[in-house]
């Protein structure tokens, strides 16, 4: 996993953190010295998107996940269901419930999207 360490001063700390977070990164560690200077470790978050989070549990209605990096493992409720090879994934559900869909890739921070099937 790629970690980008960025040195900051007291006067630019908030600006730099916001710029990175607006660009798809999350601060995973930080250190602040007495004078306000220090550093952040930033990691890129998997940029996955979904077209919806509520679907009908009929095996026909589907949610489409996009922008998934190649070689991302998709897990639902602790069960691996797919390895993404083309950047997207379609999911249908037969049983009503709340499903936690995890996207894991060694180069990114993992992402969870909750799908509600009714």
Per-residue pLDDT tens over the stretch 88-110 = 999 999 999 999 999 999 889 89
Query: From CA 102, how far away is CA 66, in angstroms rounded?
Result: 13
Cross-strand pairs, 103 = 74, 111
Instruction: Return the H-helix or E-strand segment holding 100.
Output: strand 97-104
Which residue is listed with tokens 């908030």? 14
What is the pLDDT confidence band of residue 82, given thresholds at 50, 70 and 90?
A: confident
Buried b (16+ CB within 10 A) or exposed e, 42-66: bbbbbebebeeeebebeeeeebebe
pTM here is: 0.79
- Interval 25-80: pLDDT, tens: 888 888 888 888 899 889 888 999 999 999 999 999 999 999 999 999 999 988 87
The pair of three-digit structure tokens given for residue 112, joined into one six-digit string:
């969870």
Alpha-carbon separation of residue 32 from 12, 17, 85 (angstroms):
13, 13, 41
Domains and CATH numbers, the chain: 4-44 (no CATH), 49-117 (2.60.40.10)
Q: Is 61 within 8 Å of 92 (Cβ atoms)? A: yes
Alpha-carbon radius of gyration of the chain: 18
Between 66 and 24, residue with greater pLDDT:
66
Model confidence band, residue 1 (pLDDT cutoffs 50, 70, 90): low
């Amino acid at each position: 996993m790629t970690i980008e360490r960025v040195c900051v001063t007291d006067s630019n700390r908030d600006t730099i953190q916001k710029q990175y977070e607006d660009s798809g990164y999350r601060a995973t560690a930080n250190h602040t010295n007495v004078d306000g200077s220090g550093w952040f470790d930033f990691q890129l978050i998997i940029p996955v998107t979904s077209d919806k989070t509520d679907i009908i549990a009929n095996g026909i209605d589907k949610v489409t996940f996009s922008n998934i990096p190649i070689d991302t493992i998709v897990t639902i409720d602790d069960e691996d269901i797919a390895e993404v090879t083309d950047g997207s994934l379609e999911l249908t559900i037969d049983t009503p419930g709340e499903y936690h869909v995890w996207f894991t890739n060694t180069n990114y921070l993992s992402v969870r999207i909750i799908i509600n099937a009714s």
